[in-house]
Structure 1
């Protein structure tokens, strides 16, 4: 269970009057038991900040976040064993030269033997239809392949929750559809921030964020309609 209890996030900003504070999220209270949750919002609305609270990349100024009873601000190491984070740009997440090398890096703590670790890395890639790119340069892969490899590195440590921040934004239609299928096929709970309304519509629940506040929360179809009207206003 993911819980937000009266969460406020503020950051310092500097202006003519000296240091002030900008509020990125304002009094967010949510319980998220559903398997597929989409978060919609314009750029700068606060949706990425909301997601980053879930694994301690951002800390609440006040209030509390809990993931399966753990507080990411105080128990970040334990939380990151539960929560896998997929970034918008996979190149910010893939740090080794090939997909197999990146998978090995993810598996280093759980599989000490190098040969066994390599075999497991290749096995994971093959199970996700990526075996043919195991030893290719990351820079030779398509955008969709990179994002799928990025997801595979996150899933290799077997999290219970996958958080994805606009995972299809940089992709063309074919790759976007491929990544969407992979996301919707996950066994884990998925929380995804997205501008992709087709992806959002497939969620069980969708939340609309505007100016740091929750302005709509409910079944995905209704939330997508609300978001369209909000953007058209």
Structure 2
């Protein structure tokens, strides 16, 4: 029987891509409501997100999400976790708003008629009933982010992974989305390189070179991260090629 303990558990999880160790024996138990995973580009953040979501499996170690293996039990993972990617165009599949929102529900076994009914109810609650037949191509970047969030929320996952959720958005859109995220009852795991995006988290993990460099309260982790990034930025160190 799976362990019913809610939360995310990684036990010595290792991911190797193109002969390079991207995540190196990561062991974590994440149960807080608001979790930040912080690191610069190439630190392994996106790979960790994909690992938690069950989109990839570790070559060594294990991952459990609310007691289930998210890679091998995809049906259970769909109910347990949702993902909001940085670029909504990497997530959107269908030409109209109602088709996009209904897709996940239909995939989980809901009839098309019931899925569309739930979509229309959700849009009406949000004051966006007029969006239903709208082509996705007519939506702004911020509106497409909102669409992807609604698609995730319709699935009612217990945990939502946010991949740089405010990157590339104008300030009003950032403010609206940040308020919405703050009000959600789900556990949120925010993947970012921006310390400000996780300043209000319950727990922050600093990922560096595929390992956990620091783990604790934002007040403890963020100053150390910021200082190290400033130190690295003072060096002209971007001329070397990396594998």
TM-score by length of 1: 0.89
Q: 1:52 to 1:141 in 2, by over 3 A?
A: same
Deviation at 1:129, TM superposition (A): 4.5
CA distance in 2, matches of 1:43, 1:179: 23
- Asked if the contact 1:144–1:178 (Cα under 8 Å) also holds between the matched residues in 2, the reply is no
CA distance in 1, matches of 2:42, 2:129: 38
Map of 2:191 onto structure 1: 193
Deviation at 1:47, TM superposition (A): 0.8
Correspondence list, 1:77-226, <5 A: 77-108=75-106, 109-112=108-111, 114=113, 116-226=114-224
Unaligned runs of 5+ in 2: 1-6, 232-243
Map of 1:15 onto structure 2: none
Bigger mean CA offset, 133-142 vs 174-183: 133-142
TM-score by length of 2: 0.86
Q: Secondary structure at the match of 1:199?
A: helix
Root mean square deviation of aligned Cα = 1.7
Unaligned runs of 5+ in 1: 13-20
Q: Secondary structure at the match of 1:214?
A: strand
Deviation at 1:166, TM superposition (A): 1.3
Q: 1:6 to 1:129 in 2, by over 3 A?
A: farther
CA distance in 1, matches of 2:29, 2:179: 26
Bigger mean CA offset, 91-100 vs 1-10: 91-100
Q: How many residues align?
A: 224
Q: 1:46 to 1:185 in 2, by over 3 A?
A: same
- Asked if the contact 1:169–1:195 (Cα under 8 Å) also holds between the matched residues in 2, the reply is no
Deviation at 1:204, TM superposition (A): 0.9
Deviation at 1:199, TM superposition (A): 2.2
Higher strand proportion: 1
Correspondence list, 1:23-62, <5 A: 23-62=21-60
